[in-house]
């Protein structure tokens, strides 16, 4: 029986991964008290003890604005820790599947980013994720790096939950129209990861960086409108929702600069592994239906 080590089981993607990966073999998913990416000894000890065939790292510092004031911790969780995980995975003979981010790009492109495009992060979070990628590549481990885009889920802080809560509590909301990306449900990331891990030999034969997101693209404003429309349908409550008004990022200053365009092409992962993802808007209502009523 294969052994899979999951790091970060309490995160947005990690929570879904624990469910999706459990049928694939012996799943070990330690909490932070046992494996902490800020503690190299705990990383080395757990990986040496459990001798995994695959390591899935879904742990990281994901609060983009907070990363600006907590740069040291962000680097430890997103760059230094993953590098140590990769080195330990190499010694254990395990393949590493690691989640990165499309925030490694500066967002100046206006056609979908490919894996050949040169990263140029514009904030601390993006820089830390890029350094994590570099550390994994330099380790010599057998690795798959997945660059994720606009992740949302039923837990933690994310745009979808924030928008739905605010739209119910406020009469008006301003949402940016100049940020373009692809909302991708953590549930779908977990399903795609499980599909990848069903063929470990193919993973080892095709290491590298891969883009993975839902299909198509939208602005933050369009995403917000779709979320609220879905919530109206699911709840049966047509009234009592905020009116949404357009704005631009420059009028809504935040601690961290956002790349304005983070759309990526799934062509490489589709051609290599046969992985396909649903369109972002086809998943919105299904996601809303998983939320508690009210």
- The catalytic residue positions are 125
Alpha carbons within 13 angstroms on the beta-carbon side of residue 291 total 23
For tokens 């304005």, the residue is 260
Distance from C-alpha of 108 to C-alpha of 167, rounded to nearest angstrom:
30
- Residue 9 has a CB neighbour count (10 Å cut-off) of 22
Euclidean distance between CA atoms 261 and 217, whole angstroms:
10
Q: Which secondary-structure segment (H or E) carries 172?
A: strand 172-176
Tokens, residue 103: 């925030």
- Which residues are registered as beta bridge partners of 6? 56
Helix, strand or coil, per DSSP, at residue 44: helix
């Amino acid at each position: 029986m294969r052994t899979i080590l999951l790091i970060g089981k309490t995160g947005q993607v990690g929570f879904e991964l624990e469910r999706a990966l459990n049928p694939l073999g012996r799943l070990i998913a330690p909490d932070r008290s046992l494996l902490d990416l800020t503690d190299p000894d705990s990383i080395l000890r757990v990986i040496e003890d459990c001798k995994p065939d695959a390591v899935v790292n879904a742990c990281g510092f994901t609060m983009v604005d907070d990363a600006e004031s907590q740069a040291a911790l962000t680097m430890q969780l997103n760059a230094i820790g993953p590098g140590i995980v990769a080195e330990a995975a190499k010694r254990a003979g395990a393949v590493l599947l690691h989640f990165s981010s499309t925030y490694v790009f500066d967002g100046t492109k206006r056609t979908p980013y490919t894996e050949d495009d040169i990263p140029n992060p514009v904030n601390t979070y993006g820089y830390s994720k890029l350094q994590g990628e570099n550390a994994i590549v330099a380790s010599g481990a057998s690795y798959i790096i997945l660059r994720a885009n606009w992740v949302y889920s039923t837990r933690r802080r994310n745009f979808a939950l924030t928008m739905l809560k605010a739209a119910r509590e406020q009469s008006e909301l301003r949402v940016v129209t100049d940020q373009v990306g692809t909302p991708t449900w953590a549930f779908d990331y977990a399903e795609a990861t499980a599909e990848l891990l069903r063929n470990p030999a193919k993973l080892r034969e095709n290491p590298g960086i891969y883009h993975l997101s839902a299909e198509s693209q939208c602005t933050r404003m369009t995403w917000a409108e779709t979320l609220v429309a879905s919530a109206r349908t699911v709840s049966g409550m047509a009234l009592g929702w905020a009116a949404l008004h357009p704005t631009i990022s420059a009028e809504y200053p935040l601690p961290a600069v956002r790349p304005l365009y983070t759309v990526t092409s799934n062509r490489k992962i589709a051609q290599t592994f046969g992985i396909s993802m649903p369109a972002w808007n086809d998943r919105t209502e299904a996601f809303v239906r998983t939320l508690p009523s009210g």
